[in-house]
Amino acid sequence: MSVKNKIWAMGYSVFQILQGQLIHPYPTMRQLVRDKVFLWMTCSPIGLWLGSLLIWKLLELTLFSLFPYQGFWLFLALWFTVGIALYQLLLVYLLVRFLRARV
């Protein structure tokens, strides 16, 4: 198998796991714990939050000062942060649950 095919296969697997965590987290986490290959993908919401925080800081310096209703943007950032935190807690709960059950 060539390096190009391995990269495509890895990207496809990561995309499928991200999609599965978003659409149906319970069976996806069960499969992740069973396979133990992509177990690090449990922390994908934290990576999404860090990437969003970087984009937020870049836009804050350049673009947000020109927009009206700056409190609205802060509300959206807080809402997004709380949502990501709750989703991360769900994934950690499922991870611990399936690790203890040895699925």
**Backbone dihedral region of 102: left (phi > 0), alpha (psi from -120 to 50 degrees) or beta?**
left
Give the span between the Cα atoms of 17 and 32, in whole angstroms.
Answer: 8
| 10-residue averages of pLDDT along the chain (103 residues) | 90 90 92 88 92 88 73 88 95 93 75
With a threshold of 0.85, does the pTM exceed it? no
Annotate 72-84 with DSSP letters as a single string: HHHHHHHHHHHHH
Please count the CA atoms within 13 angstroms of the CA of 78 that sit on its side-chain side.
6
Q: What pLDDT score does 61 carry?
A: 75
Instruction: Return left, alpha or beta for 68; rule: phi > 0 is left, psi -120 to 50 is alpha, else beta.
Output: beta
